Every structure is written in C-alpha cells, then in structure tokens.
Amino acid sequence: MSSNYLMVGAGLSGAVIGRHLAELGHKVTIVDARPHVAGNCHCARDPDTGVMVHIYGPHIFHTDDAEVWDYVNHYQTFLPYKNRVKTI
C-alpha cells in the first residue's frame, strides 16, 4: 500500500529517506528553506574555474561499516580517503 510523505528538509537525512520511500513506491514531497538539496553537504561548481567548491565547509565522509559504504556508493562514487590529523 502506497502512502504520502512530506519530508521537511532536503539535507542528507531528508534526501536519503525521501528517496528510499519513493523507491518503495510511496509519494514523497520534500521541502527545504534553501534553494538546493543536500543541506550542509551541498557543493557547487565555481563558474570561473570549474572546480567543485564545498559551500558550507569541507566534507569528509567516514565509515568503517561496509554496508553503509556500499549503500552510499550505489548512488555516488566515493573515493577512499584517510584523514590524518597532525598537531604540534
């Protein structure tokens, strides 16, 4: 049975849950105060350089869970990255 859902917020959680519900056949409407999806994970291409810029600061996606890694890579290709913090 299909249901109607209203997601308030198109950030990471709202977008992922909304898409999952839609893939299950539900009708989903997502609203957000900002004119773009992805919340604080939003990136945009700089028109002068063509470089992707992290609008709200740098992002590092970290997980040790293979199931989570496989899930996110189903929708977007992530490159492995090891964050090394160095202090003095």
pLDDT in tens, 31-47: 999 999 889 989 999 99
pTM beyond 0.75, yes or no: no
Answer whether residue 83 is part of any domain. no
User: Does 17 reside within a domain?
Assistant: yes
The total of structural domains in the chain comes to 1
Map tokens 């496989």 to a residue: 70
Does any domain span residue 53? yes
Residue 4 has pLDDT above 90, yes or no: yes
Residue 71 lies in a domain: yes
22 is a domain residue:
yes
Specify if 87 maps to a domain: no
Domain span including residue 11: 4-75
53-74 mean pLDDT? 87
Q: C-alpha 14: how far from its chain's center?
A: 9
55 domain residue, yes or no: yes
Cβ-Cβ contacts under 8 Å for 14 (sequence gap 6 or more)? 7, 8, 30, 32, 39
- Do the domain assignments include residue 88? no
C-alpha span between 30 and 11 (Å, rounded) = 10
